[in-house]
A and B are shown apart, each in its own frame.
Chain A
Amino acid sequence: MLLEIKNLHANVGGNEILKGIDLKIGLGEVHAIMGPNGSGKSTLAQVLAGRDLYAVTKGEVLYDGKDLLDMAPEDRAREGIFLAFQYPVEIPGVNNTYFLRAALNAGRKHRGQEELDAMDFLTYIREKIKLLEMDDTLLNRPVNEGFSGGEKKRNEIFQMAVLEPKLAIMDETDSGLDIDALKTVATGVNSLRSKERSIIVVTHYQRLLNYIVPDFVHVLSNGRIVKSGGKELALELEDKGYSWLDETVPANERA
């Protein structure tokens, strides 16, 4: 088991958002987490990546057998966790290539691998960029600065390809993308699917799951996973809408 979430509770400013999440993710599996706005999907993604805005009040998360919640965000990344942000941050003045090399080398150093020098790194990312059919001019630009919404999301996937995480969490990577951009992103993600890598796809819409077909689908509502199933669950949700969930939640737990 790569990731094991047990009874996870988290709040922001005293407002409880995650109210007991249980989830197990095996190596090589693709899990989709769906749910309406405010259900806690993005909070879960951010908590797993170590965002300190959220306070974990109860529960535990084991990653590769280790206590994930005890690790600093950078250590989680070095151990192979990658969060593709819903809103990637613009960082003026920091060159994309420099940033990526610093990130990659931090991970390599952590794993006892030799750090890549500027030349080797360039060779390495040129391959990745070809693989994802991306525009290489973005390499010399400051991180995300002035990027369009689509470019930002593609840059996230590119970073994922470069850092080769063991667990990738995609936080609403489809939001705001037109169908062409969505396909590009999905193609990128699919090319990164592997037996050695697990992926969590957080999304509001079923649309993305036509292109990234998950092994499992979980439905999050009001801070809990209320339903889990195979890929067909996504279609069912698409068909019936999130209001259908209310009927599946026991009456005594309805808000």
Chain B
Amino acid sequence: MTMPALQFAGTGKDYDGKTVLDDVSLDVNEGTLVALVGHNGAGKTTMMKLLLGLIRPSRGTVSILGYDPAGPDGAEAKKNLGFLPETVAFQQAMTGLEVLNFYGRLKRADLNINPELLARVGLADAARRRVKTYSKGMRQRLGLAQALLGAPRVMLLDEPTTGLDPALRRDFYDSLSALKNDGVTVLLSSHALSELESRIDKVAIMNSGKLMACGTLAELRSRAHVPVRIRLRTRDGQASNIANQLNGAEISRVNGQVIEFVCAPEEKMLLVRRVSELGVAVEDIEIDLPTLDQLYSHYRDDGGPQ
């Protein structure tokens, strides 16, 4: 068993006597993509700062690639790290290319690929313009480019899609998949839950400094017991007839052609089998699994610590 790429072990953080992070234990294995979700003030940024060694834990430990980020060898770990802060800021008087060259030098990265890196985030035309003239979206893209400098093994992305338009978000999610294929470990925090669902390996749900739940979406769904919504389309006039045969299911809506009902996750297969026995009267079936949004509100509101 290798060491997790990122690890929180009983980590807590207090600011002026106020607990902002409370006993969080979380392992992120190499090559996985983990999303930290939670509203503002849930402790996501605090976790990022702990991983960067910018602040020290009040309790417990933090490690990144086996190093203590706030310890004397913290700089070692940062050679293999890319970070995008929530609100990224650059030296205003420098051009985009100069920014990348400066940070690339600090990371001992190959500077020759920087123009290409800028092109990848759609900033090729702005490479020689001062950052002062950039829009918020352009600064965010420059932030992404700097996080990719030196081919990092771990990336920490704090709200990476803020200020990106839908097309750029899609590009960004595509590049996330590419990173994952290269074996890069990614920890990202986000509000854009629905967009994340298909891309991530694991979700960690935070609320007021506590880790409420962590696991794959499937694990969280089965643990959450959030009801599954099933919608059937039937032949004309058959709907109420069929609805009567589905005793046990909690039917929420019936009209001439459509039946909607919810059931507990473990009853899902049973009901699906029963529906299929009804034969040709049922024309179509749609199953809505709980979305990340629903899971998030479930764990945030009433899910106790795992």
Partners in one complex: no
Name A residues whose Cβ lies closer than 8 Å to a Cβ of B. none
Name B residues whose Cβ lies closer than 8 Å to a Cβ of A. none
